[in-house]
Amino acid sequence: MTNNNNPIDVFLAQPRGFCAGVDRAIAIVEEALRIHGAPVYVRHEIVHNKRVISMLEDKGAIFVEEVEDIPDGAITIFSAHGISSKVENDAIARSLPVIDATCPLVSKVHAEGRKHTENGCEVILIGHKGHPEVEGTMGRINGTVYLVSNVTDAKTIMVENPNKLAYVTQTTLSVDDTRDIILELERRFPKITGPNVKDICYATQNRQSAVRELTQHVDLLIVLGASNSSNSNRLKEIGVELGVPSYLIDEADQMEPSWLNGVSKIGITAGASAPEELVEELIENLRAIREINLKTFGDTIEDVIFKLPKELTELSSQTQKIL
C-alpha cells in the first residue's frame, strides 16, 4: 500500500489545453473589443469553458443564445463551433456587422459536406446529437444529412441511395472515436466515401493519444475542462476505459483530497478549451496536500496557428496607421 505521506509524481500531458482554434476564437473577441470597444455580442459560448467566458465578460463581451437577442447594429461574433446557414441569414437580414470565429477545421467540414451534396451524394454526419458544432454543420449542408452518433446508429440507418453516399465527422472526434462507426458504415455501404485521415482535428487526436499513453503510467487521471465540452469528456472516458480512476473538473478546487489516497502517480491533462491557469491552480492545490514531483509526459509539439479573419486584420491595420 502506498504511504500517503510519500511524494506524488505528477505527470503533465503534452500537449494539453488550448488548441489553435480556441486561441483564435478568444483572440477574435479580444481584438474586436480593442477595435470597436465594449460591448460586443457573441452568439453562444465562444468556447466551452466558464473561466474563459467570465474573463471575456469582464472585458465587455456579452453572450447570448440567439441572434434575435442582439441589439440592432451591435458587433456580432459567431462561436468557434460554427453556425447554420439560417443563423447567418438571420444576421444578414438584420444587417448586423458579423465576425465569424468558426474554427477553420470546422469550416473545412462544412465545405466538404456541401461539395458532397453538390455532387449528388447524401451525407452522413458522425457526431454527437445536440452539440453546437453538429447543429451548425447540419444546417450548413444543403441536401439530405443523416446524423450517426454510435455503432448502433450505423447498423440501423436507412439511406435513399447507398451508391451515392459520403460521410463527414465532428472535429472533436478522433480517429479512435469514429473507427468502429466508419467500419460499420463501410460494411453496409461499400461505395461510401469519406475524408482523408489527415483532415481530422489534430488537437483532438494529439490530446487523446497523449492520454492513452499517460494512463499506462499513472494511478489517477484528472482532466480539466467543462462538463459540456465534448473533447474534455472524451479524455476522461479514455482514462476510465483503460482502467484508471478518472475525473473531469471545471475548477481546481473541485478536486477531492480523498482521490489521492493510495496514489503515487497522477496524470493531468486539459481539454482544448481549458486555459493553462487551471492546470497551474490544480498543481498548487496538490502541493498544499502532498509533496509532488512535477514532470512532463509526451513530446508532441503543436505549432499550428490560425489567422484572424480579414474583418479584424484590415481594421487593425487601419487603426495602427491612424495611431
The set of catalytic residues is 133
Q: Which three cell numbers stand for residue 292?
A: 509532488
Listed in order, strand segments (DSSP E) in the chain are: 8-13, 40-43, 61-64, 76-78, 98-100, 122-126, 145-148, 165-169, 220-224, 246-249, 265-270, 292-297
DSSP codes, 23-51: HHHHHHHHHHHHHH-S-EEEES-SSS-HH
Whole-angstrom distance, CA of residue 69 vs CA of residue 79: 15
Q: Is residue 93 classed as helix, strand or coil in its secondary structure?
A: helix
Q: Is residue 52 classed as helix, strand or coil in its secondary structure?
A: helix
- Counted residue by residue, the chain has a size of 323
Residue 193 CA to its chain's centroid (Å): 25
Whole-angstrom distance, CA of residue 154 vs CA of residue 301: 35
**57 Cβ neighbours under 8 A, 6+ residues apart:** 63
